Structure 1
Amino acid sequence: MSAKRPNFEVLRTTLYGGKGPYVPFFELGVDASVKAAFLGRPLEKPEDEIAFARAAGYDYVKIAPPLDLSPEVLQSYGGSHIKDKADGSGARIWAEEGKGVVHTVEDVESFPWPEPDDVDWWRAHAIESALPDDMKLIAQYGDIFTWTWRFLGFEQFSYALVENPALIEGLFERIGSLEMALFERMAASPKLGAIFYSDDIAFATGLMVSPRVLRQYLFPWIRRLAELAQSKGVPFIYHSDGDLRAVLDELLDLGVNALHPIEPQAMDIAELKRKYGSRLCLCGNVDVDLLARGKPEEIRENVKWLIENVGVHGGYCLGSGNSVPEYVPVENYRAMIEAGLEFGNLE
């Protein structure tokens, strides 16, 4: 008989690279429509997130501030930055490559930035109040790097790295300071189980910018977030798509305990497990394209392979190779979950 889920201590042990009685599940996000189809009813209130998580076998519920830092949103609404639904979902956003919305240090200083006090934490508080003792909250937010380049557009961002580093530094400082304040508020919860920072820095073929740029501007913030997690005695999880091998050792040195989502087109998860062993928990790797267009039996076999080749000795959390979007059929998502339950017993 497999161990009882949920049990956050199993996830905690795994995120630190250890082996628990089962392979836990972990996701950046599951679209609200998939959650509703899986649960058999709409998620109409925050407490429904707990019901979904328990039904699907997750040991946690994720919370995040309902604050959209998209430059077009901040610019358009001029101080009305809050967006939220009961299910916590939002619109899909596409990258801006050309012209941005700020161009000078003065633009950054005069921009209508939100303040931490603008955030209404009603949803997080409702989940916190209703959360059972066998589950914990995972505090998630991110995109200090991503919002910085999106405020400029990637082309202008690339030029400014050389021609106007003060502009780059000003944006990183403004966005990073805001995000640190938000993470500190989430980390104050007595039900905190982990801190989860997400920020894409790589393509499938390699990094978006040189390691030097990341070291100068982004990595100090990742270190501060890792130190916050350490001060609270919880694991620190980092999400980035793409091939991170050029900076993976540095991420470990910064304090990253677990890496998500190990995009299968970018990195060989079995190779990473052989190299890093229990030093780094690996999360995800079930191809989103397979989830979207594959057959349930193909998904079942993929999950079986992952557990046998990556998860058998611990330090692996099952999940998608990014997130579970609305175009994934619920029967395929269910196939991943059921296969994890079938093959994930490690006792």
Structure 2
Amino acid sequence: MRDSSPNYENLVNATRNIEPDRIPLYEHIVAVKVIEEVIGAKFAGLYQSQNLADLRIFFKNYCSFFRQFGYDTVSWEMCIGPIMPDSGALGGHKPGVIKDRNDFERYPWDTIENLFFDKYSRHFEALRQEMPEGMKAVGGPGNGIFECVQELVGYENLCILSFDDAELYADLFKMVGKVNLGIWKRFLNEFGDIYAVCRFGDDLGFKSSTLLPPDDIRKHVTPQYKRIVDVVHGFEKPFLLHSCGCIFDVMDDIIGTVQIDAKHSNEDSIAPFSKWVVEYGDRIGNFGGIDMDVLCQKTPDEIKAYTIAILESTAGHGGIAIGSGNSIADYVPVEGYLAMINTVREFRGDQL
């Protein structure tokens, strides 16, 4: 049995599309409710505290879970969208706060960066203080450009705006890109030392296509991605994009223009994980693999067999990290989740 001590360089190498010493486990999110059930401790309520001592207890439990169950990194992000004043058109299904040029001009764009750090700096500091030896975090400021624009406008209204006021439509992406870039620069200066891999999630697609026309993504979204990714690379860190949906039409742009290092999220009803690996594995790392329907509906034995098939089919294909195709939400059965991670750990020869 090999040493199962964590080493964040395994995930760094997988992100850089270098075959790591051992296949890393990776999740975009593991719901705290699931973690509580797995470790048998209640600590979720401490997350809302602004007291550093409470937050340290929260992160001690949270980080210990990732350490105990075979991860090399701790997945942690704090999202920009909910911090934006009067947001919620995406996550909360509220009416968009920006409907026209006057709304755009009145919006308090210059307050967002300070609001983000006023609320979340203590969380990042507590994470730093409780990070286990050999580990670092993956994540950072969550939400990408498209999701933040939707939080302020709403998806349907954004599509209408693209026809009714093309100039405002373009300016929204530019302004959100400027704000998010400022947050990322400050984050990397203040907390970059505890992060091995930087990441945001920005769902650009659904089951059959992208949510915006591919040319709109190329014109308005990927240029803003590139500004952030360039800064991340300037800090000598790799960048991982989490994006759900059928986004094959823009993947060459995301890889070639934005220059992401790895991509996460897959769904068998769109394409098997093997297609992502075969199509893009010579250029980027590929994370995920285990379809959410499998995790939620199959037996532990079936999940084990499915996971072994993924591991065997992706072996030798560069940077691979295995986990769910999306995230471990609170509705994912714990026994299915544990079947997946224990199969990976047994496959790579961990001391369980």
Structure 1 residue 212 and structure 2 residue 215: aligned? yes
Q: CA deviation at 1:200?
A: 0.5
Aligned to 1:54: 67
Structure 1 residue 75 and structure 2 residue 78: aligned? no
From the two aligned structures, give the one with the greater helix fraction.
2
Q: 1:61-92 CA deviation, whole Å, 9 max, x = no partner?
A: 23323654377xx328xxxx9xxxxxxxxxx9
Aligned residues: 328
C-alpha contact 1:145 1:218 (8 A) present in aligned 2: yes
Structure 2 regions of 5+ residues with no counterpart?
47-57
Q: CA deviation at 1:128?
A: 0.9
Report % sequence identity: 25
Q: Secondary structure at the match of 1:284?
A: strand
How do 1:102-251 and structure 2 match up within 5 A?
A: 102-113=98-109, 114-118=111-115, 119=117, 120=119, 121-140=121-140, 141-188=142-189, 189-251=192-254
Letter of the structure 1 residue corresponding to residue 314 of structure 2: V
Letter of the structure 2 residue corresponding to residue 64 of structure 1: E
Structure 1 outlier segments of 4+, above 6 Å:
none
Q: CA deviation at 1:295?
A: 0.8
In 2, Cα distance between equivalents of 1:49 and 1:186: 21
In 1, Cα distance between equivalents of 2:6 and 2:293: 28
Q: Secondary structure at the match of 1:285?
A: strand
C-alpha contact 1:23 1:345 (8 A) present in aligned 2: no
Structure 1 residue 261 and structure 2 residue 259: aligned? no
Q: Secondary structure at the match of 1:202?
A: coil
Equivalent of 1:324 in 299, 317, 328: 328
Aligned to 1:34: 34
Q: CA deviation at 1:289?
A: 2.0
Between 1:120-129 and 1:260-269, the stretch displaced more is 260-269
C-alpha contact 2:144 2:201 (8 A) present in aligned 1: yes
In structure 2, the CA distance between the partners of 1:345 and 1:311, relative to structure 1 (3 Å rule), is: farther
TM-score, structure 1 length as denominator?
A: 0.87
Letter of the structure 1 residue corresponding to residue 86 of structure 2: Q
Q: CA deviation at 1:183?
A: 1.8
Aligned to 2:77: 64
C-alpha contact 1:205 1:243 (8 A) present in aligned 2: yes
Aligned to 2:52: none
TM-score, structure 2 length as denominator?
A: 0.86
* CA-based RMSD: 2.3
Letter of the structure 2 residue corresponding to residue 158 of structure 1: C
Q: CA deviation at 1:112?
A: 4.3
In 2, Cα distance between equivalents of 1:57 and 1:242: 28
In 1, Cα distance between equivalents of 2:286 and 2:330: 24
Q: CA deviation at 1:312?
A: 4.1
C-alpha contact 2:232 2:238 (8 A) present in aligned 1: yes
Structure 1 residue 296 and structure 2 residue 292: aligned? no
Q: 1:147-179 CA deviation, whole Å, 9 max, x = no partner?
A: 313432322211211221222223223322222
Q: Secondary structure at the match of 1:195?
A: strand
In 2, Cα distance between equivalents of 1:168 and 1:3: 53
Q: 1:91-117 CA deviation, whole Å, 9 max, x = no partner?
A: x93657xx6332112102213454212
